[in-house]
Structure 1
Amino acid sequence: MELSCKTEYALLALLELATNYEIGEPLQIRQIAAQQHIPDRYLEQLLATLRRGGLVKSQRGAKGGYVLAREPWKITLLDVICCLDGLETTTCEDEAQPKTVESAVVQEVWQESRQAANAVLQKYSLQNLCEQRAARKQLNIMYYI
C-alpha cells in the first residue's frame, strides 16, 4: 500500500483547515495551495471531492473559502482515504469462492492486512496530525547564542 499523491495533498489541505478550525474563518484555495505547495487547480478538484464526501464545506462571497464540515477530532484518516480513493473490498472477482487452498490462504492474509491498515487509519484524526506537527515544530526550534 502506498499513499497516493492525491491523498497526501488532501491531507495537507485538511491539516491547514484543521489548524484554522478554532478561528472559524474559511481559507481560500490560493491560501491553502501557497502554504502547502499544492497546485491551485488540483487542490480545487480535491476540495470539491472532499465537499461531496462531507468532510469540508464551502462558503461563498468575498470572505468565502473552505472550512471543515466537522471537528478535526471527528475526521479520521480513514474517512479521508475512503472519500478520495475508496477502499478495495475485494481482490479479485471470484473471491467469494477461492479455487484452491493456497488462494484461500493468500486472501485471508490480505484481508487481515487490510483490516490492520484500516484500524491504524481509523485511530488517527486530523487533530492528532495537528498535535504531532506542533510537537515536531517545537523540537525543531533551536536557540543560538
Structure 2
Amino acid sequence: MKVAKKTEYGLRAMVCLALSGGQKQAVALPVVAQAEQIPEQFLDQIFAKLRRAGFVKSVRGVNGGYLLSRPPEEISIGELVRVLEGSLSPIGCVTEENSDPGDFCGRFSACHTRNVWLRVMNAITHALDSLTLAEVMHDDVEVRQVLQIDSVSP
C-alpha cells in the first residue's frame, strides 16, 4: 500500500493539532503548516475534508483556527486514513465496500492469490484501527526500535 501525500500530511497535521491545542485551543492553519512544513493551500483542502468528516472544528475570528472535535483517545488512525486515503484495499477484488469482486476480475471465485490480498488488507486494517491519535502523539519510540533494527558494528 502506498500512502498519498494527503494522508501523510493529514496525519502529521492532526498530531500537531492534538499536541498544540487539542480540543481546548484553536490553532491557526498557518501555524500547523509551518510547524509540519506542509503547503498551506494543500493543508486547507485536507482540513476541509477532516472537518466534513467530523474530526476537527473550525473557529472563526482573531483567535480562530482548528481544534479537535473529539479527544485524541477517541480518534482511530484507521478512521483518519480511510477518510483521507479511501479504501485500504491493496487490490480491487478485496475492497471494503460491498461491491461485487467479479466487477474487478472474473477469476475471483477460483483465485488462490485473492486470500493473500485479503490477509494484507486485514493486517493493515487491524494495525491502523488499533492505534489512536493519542498513542501516536505520545509515541516516543525510536524508529530503530519500531523497525527492530539492531546496530551493526563493523
Which shifted more, 17-26 or 28-37?
17-26
Pairs within 5 Å for 1:85-124: 85-87=85-87, 91-92=92-93, 95-96=101-102, 99-100=106-107, 103-124=110-131
Q: Label 1:88 to 1:127 Cα distance change in 2 as closer, same or farther (>3 A).
A: closer
Identity percentage over the alignment? 30
Which runs of structure 2 are paired with 1:61-140 in the superposition (5 Å)? 61-87=61-87, 91-92=92-93, 95-96=101-102, 99-100=106-107, 103-133=110-140
Please say if residues 26 and 65 of structure 1, whose CA atoms lie closer than 8 Å, have aligned partners that are also in contact: yes
Letter in 2 for 1:60: R
Q: Which residue in the other structure is 2:6 paired with?
A: 6
One-letter identity of the residue aligned with 2:92: T
> What is the aligned-residue RMSD (CA, Å)?
2.4
Task: Give the structure with the higher percent helix.
Answer: 1
Q: Unpaired segments of 5 or more residues in structure 2?
A: 94-98, 143-154
TM-score (norm 1): 0.82
Aligned residues: 135
Unaligned runs of 5+ in 1: 137-145
State the Cα distance separating 1:126 from its structure 2 match. 0.9
Aligned residue in 2 for 1:39: 39
Task: After TM superposition, give the deviation of residue 100 of structure 1 in Å.
Answer: 4.3
Shift of 1:23: 7.2
Cα deviation for residue 108 of structure 1 reads 1.9
Say whether 1:56 aligns with 2:63. Answer: no
Give the ranges of 4+ consecutive aligned residues of structure 1 lying more than 3 Å apart after TM superposition.
Answer: 96-103
The two structures have a TM-score, normalised by structure 2, of 0.77
Which of 8-17 and 107-116 deviates more? 107-116
Is the partner of 1:57 in helix, strand or coil? strand
Distance 2:6 2:86 in 1: 12
- With over 3 angstroms needed to count, the CA separation of the structure-2 counterparts of 1:91 and 1:63, relative to structure 1, is same
Kept in 2, the 8 Å contact 1:21–1:72? The answer is: no
- Match of 1:140? none
1:141 aligned residue: none
Q: Secondary structure in 2 aligned to 1:58?
A: strand
CA–CA distance in structure 1, aligned partners of residues 66 and 33 of structure 2: 12
Matched residue type, 1:91: G
